[in-house]
Amino acid sequence: MEMTTHPMTRMPTSGSSYEEWNQDKTRRMNIWDSKRFPQNQCPHCNGSGWVWKDWGEGEWAPCSCQSRIQTRKHTENAGLSKSLAKFNLNDFRADQAWQTALLKSTCDYARHPKGFLFICGQPGAGKTHLAAGAFNYILKGGARGKGRSWPDLMAELKAAQNTPDYVRLMDELKGCQILYLDDFLHAVKKQPTTGDLKLAFEIINARYDNDRNPTIITSNLTPSEIAKFDSSLSGRIVEAAGAHMLIIAPDPDRDYRTRKGVEV
């Protein structure tokens, strides 16, 4: 009986180059199956997450799309809203010296996350853009984390009180690799409640005690303003942030929201 070679492993013929043969083999080995890979339509691996490389015996190798998929999964698992997940440090406009200084310090932290990054002060000055951008950058590096706006988190925790979900969420907030809290201690009545302060201290203190786990926080309140409500809470934030405590001085000209209008 005449032996034949499977077309996927057949050696190049005299009329075809190795490159053409390898490309055809890769295509055959990675035929996309919409039922198996509905969420990944990568043109390189056709959704499988693997590419066939080399010739002869060959070998499987992870496709470059896997890092993007992993980052997306980490972002989804972090619970970050779509509005926060879109921020990127590369998109932050640093037209003035104070913006350049903020961006540099934030980038330094994102590259080497340790302790706290606390960005506070003037509303509308880009605090959320910087903090969310740093958080997203760290997630892309493979870290697992949780990200929430403070008002949403308070509503979620209060709704889950006296349930297993409350314990699970608090454990995640205290122990995750990287935590991001946006608009920290924001309150509708301009003053956080006793319950809010108690939850804030429990979360911050746990991360402070746990080798000062990387934590990113934005707030309109400065440390001295937080100290009026709880000096112990403020003190832990200041100590854990160190050089990465960025206070934006009050200045209406730094509020980009008020600059969007057009004078007529």
Rounded Cα–Cα distance for residues 212 and 146 (Å)? 16
User: What is the per-residue pLDDT for 76?
Assistant: 57
Q: In CATH, which of 2.30.330.10, 3.40.50.300, 3.30.70.20, 3.30.70.3280 is domain 70-252?
A: 3.40.50.300
User: What is the per-residue pLDDT for 7?
Assistant: 38
User: What is the per-residue pLDDT for 100?
Assistant: 96
User: What is the per-residue pLDDT for 142?
Assistant: 80
Q: CB of 254 within 8 A of CB of 124?
A: yes
Residue with tokens 């809470």: 233
User: What is the per-residue pLDDT for 16?
Assistant: 57
Chain CA centroid to CA 83, Å: 12
Residues of the chain with confidence (pLDDT) below 50 = 1-11, 14-15, 261-264
User: What is the per-residue pLDDT for 106?
Assistant: 97
User: What is the per-residue pLDDT for 91?
Assistant: 92
Domain map (residue ranges) of the chain: 18-63, 70-252
Please give the angle made by the CA atoms of 193, 199 and 205, to the nearest 5 degrees.
130
Q: What are phi and psi of 146, to 5 degrees?
A: -130, 140
User: What is the per-residue pLDDT for 1?
Assistant: 37
Helix (H) or strand (E) holding 111: helix 97-111
Encode burial over 202-217: b for 16+ CB neighbours within 10 A, e otherwise: ebbebbbeeebbbbbb
User: What is the per-residue pLDDT for 138?
Assistant: 92
Cβ-based neighbours of 184, under 8 Å, separated by 6 or more: 150, 200, 217, 218, 219, 221
